[in-house]
Amino acid sequence: MYDEDIRVLVIDDDRGIREGCCRVLEKAGYEVLSADDGERGLDIFTHENGFTAAVVDLQLPGIDGIELTRRMHEADPDCVLLIITAYASIETAVQAIKQGAYGYISKPFTPDELLLQLGNGLKKRALEQETQRLREEREKSLVEIAQERSRCSTIIKCMADGVLVVNRDRKIVLRNAAATRVFNGPSCPPLPCHLDDLTCPVLSGLIESIFDAEEVSLILSKEIPVGDGTYMVNISPVTEASGEKCGAVVVLRDITARKKLETAKSMFVSMVSHEIQSPLAVVEGYLGIIQNDVMGNDREQYSKMLGRSLLRVRALREMVSELMNLTAIETGNFAIKRTPIDINEVLTCTIDGLRDKAESKAIEISMTAVESSGIRQVLADRNAMQVVFKNLIENAVKYTPRGGNVVVAVEENGLYARVRIKDNGFGMKPEEKNKIFDEFYRAKNGLTARIPGTGLGLSLVKRLLDLQDGMVSVSSEYGKGSEFTVCIPLSD
d(CA 179, CA 252): 7
The answer for residues whose C-beta is within 8 angstroms of residue 182's C-beta and 6 or more apart is: 162, 226, 227, 229, 231, 252, 254
pLDDT digits (tens, 9 = 90+) for 388-433: 898 889 888 888 888 888 899 998 877 888 999 998 888 888 777 7
Q: Does domain 339-489 have CATH number 3.40.50.10790?
A: no
Of residues 140 and 265, more confidently modeled: 140
In CATH, what class is 159-254? alpha beta
CA distances from 158 to 178, 179, 456, 484 (A): 8, 11, 38, 43
The arrangement of strands across the sheet holding 7-11 comes to 31-35, 7-11, 53-57, 80-85, 103-106
**All residues at 6 or more sequence positions from 52 whose CB lies less than 8 Å from its CB, including other chains:** 4, 6, 7, 8, 79, 80, 122, 125
The whole-number pLDDT of residue 448 equals 54
Residue 251 or residue 266, greater confidence: 251
Evaluate whether 36 touches 62 at the Cβ level (below 8 Å).
Answer: no
What is the fold, at CATH topology level, of the domain defined by 7-133? Rossmann fold (3.40.50)
Mean pLDDT of 235-257: 82
pLDDT for 26 beyond 70? yes
Average pLDDT in the chain: 81
277 or 131: which leads in pLDDT:
131
CATH of domain 259-331: 1.10.287.130
275/281 Cα distance (integer angstroms): 10
Q: Where in the chain is the domain with CATH 3.40.50.2300?
A: 7-133
The yes-or-no verdict on residue 80 having pLDDT over 50 is yes
Could you give the CA distance from residue 9 to residue 25 in angstroms, rounded to a whole number? 10
Rounded Cα distance between 100 and 409, Å, is 100
- Asked whether residue 112 carries a pLDDT value surpassing 60, the answer given is yes
For the chain, give every residue range classified as CATH 1.10.287.130: 259-331
Give the mean model confidence (pLDDT) for residues 142-148.
70
CATH 3.30.565.10 boundaries in the chain: 339-489
pLDDT, residue 22, reads 92
State yes or no: pLDDT of 447 exceeds 60.
no
Q: Is the peptide bond before 108 cis (omega within 30 degrees of 0)?
A: yes
The answer to whether the beta carbons of residues 369 and 375 sit under 8 Å apart is yes
Q: Are 488 and 465 in contact (CB under 8 A)?
A: yes
In the predicted structure, residue 330 carries a pLDDT above the cut 70: no
The per-residue DSSP string of 439-470 comes to TT----STTTTTS---S-HHHHHHHHHHHTT-
Q: Taking residues 164-172, report their average pLDDT.
A: 84
Q: What is the mean pLDDT of residues 70-97?
A: 85
